[in-house]
Amino acid sequence: MIVVVMVVVLVIVMLIMVIVVVMVVVMVVVMVVVMVVIVVIVMAVVMVLVIVFVLMVVVVVIAFVVVMIVVEVVMEMVVMVMLAVIVVVVVIEVMVGGRYYVLYVDFKKAFDSSVHSSFLPAYMPQV
């Protein structure tokens, strides 16, 4: 009778130990799975953020390059228009009669202290 009771108690203790071991193993597995899932989610979020950041940097660089190209093209067109205007003005002046009015200062008058308007420029037509 005592042997049967001891065997039953031993079996119950063994079952409790097996249940505890199984619960510990299940908890460890669940914790590992949860940790792996959390790490995977964090890595995915970090990768998405890195990809978004890289794309933003690429878009900003491309926009900067495009703006610089547009500015350069506009400046070149402005310079070309200015050169064209200068050429047209010179051609019109040459066609009209080739008179260029040169602004000059008579240095003899400039150094003569008795002349009041010595530093005023004189217009001299050049034929």
Q: What's the pLDDT tens digit per position in 72-91?
A: 999 999 999 999 888 888 77
Q: Is the pTM of this model over 0.85?
A: no
Residue 104: beta bridge partners?
122
Do 102 and 126 meet the contact criterion of CB atoms below 8 Å apart?
Answer: yes
C-alpha closest to that of 109 among 101, 100, 119: 119
Q: List, for the chain, all residue ranges whose pLDDT scores fall below the cut of 70.
A: 96-127
The span from the CA of 57 to the CA of 53, in Å, is: 6
1-15 pLDDT, tens digit per residue, is 888 888 888 999 999
